[in-house]
Amino acid sequence: MKNQLLTIALLCLFAACNSGNKDQSNAKVYTNSTEDTIHESTVDRGEMLVKALGCHDCHSPKKMTDKGPTFNTDLLLSGHPANDSLPTYDLETAKKYILFTPGLTAAIGPWGTSFASNLTPHDTGLAGWTEENFLTAIKHGKYKGMENSRDLLPPMPWQTISVLPEKDLKAMFAYLQTIKPIDNLVPPPIPPKQ
């Protein structure tokens, strides 16, 4: 019995010593601080919401593959690439349909041409935004989150996203402030052609 207890104790000690040797470069670090735990769970929830609501569908540039477009992981949520040129299109078709560029970051329709915004925390994106700006943009559909600015253009589904509880919108903003900043100045919208 004494030898069995000694063996169990040694195995536990061995397991404890070796657990520190694992590669933890991708592991999340949690502390005992309630504030850190709340922040971590808020950011995690924000990430889940951004993914589940399809923000990447329009705001992340794509790479074209033989299976269709896939997210360009180097440019996640950076909006319509500033250096992309628009394909030519038929004016009459644009008045009756919504046309998307192959990367799905620009949409052409009766309102003109709109470009998906840069949602990264770069100066060309959301770096200067406050949580209140984000809430105004999503709840009231206002460009740059300013009350007196123009309305957000289609296909941005702010009306649908605006029904989320405020804590979820705040979680989305908290997450967007943690992602990689990407320098990409998205072009302004183009009015409809006459």
Q: How many CB atoms lie within 10 A of CB 176?
A: 22
Listed range (16-20, 130-134, 143-147, 167-171) with the worst mean pLDDT = 16-20
pTM summary value: 0.78
Residue 47 falls inside a structural domain: yes
Residue 16 falls inside a structural domain: no
Torsion of CA 117, 120, 126, 132, to 10 degrees: 100
Residue 128 falls inside a structural domain: yes
Tens of pLDDT, residues 51-63: 999 999 999 999 9
| Structural domain of 110 | 42-176
Q: How many CB atoms lie within 10 A of CB 13?
A: 10
Residue 30 falls inside a structural domain: no
Residue 58 falls inside a structural domain: yes
- Mean pLDDT, the chain, rounded, equals 84
Q: Which residue has the higher pLDDT, 65 or 19?
A: 65
Residue 31 falls inside a structural domain: no
Q: What is the pLDDT of residue 21?
A: 41
Tens of pLDDT, residues 121-148: 999 999 999 999 999 999 999 999 999 9
Residue 126 falls inside a structural domain: yes
Q: Count of domains in the chain?
A: 1
Q: CA-CA distance, 87 to 8, in Å (whole number)?
A: 70
Tens of pLDDT, residues 28-46: 443 445 566 666 799 999 9
Q: What is the pLDDT of residue 95?
A: 83
Q: Which amino acid is at 144?
A: K
Cβ-count burial 88-108 (b if 16+ within 10 Å, e if not): eeeeeebeeeeeebebbbbbb
Listed range (26-35, 102-111, 115-124, 144-153) with the worst mean pLDDT = 26-35
Q: CA-CA distance, 44 to 50, in Å (whole number)?
A: 10
Q: CA-CA distance, 116 to 119, in Å (whole number)?
A: 9
Residue 18 falls inside a structural domain: no
For residue 69, what are the β-bridge partners? 64
Helix H or strand E segment including 64: strand 62-65
The pair phi, psi for residue 184, each rounded to 5°, is -155, 100
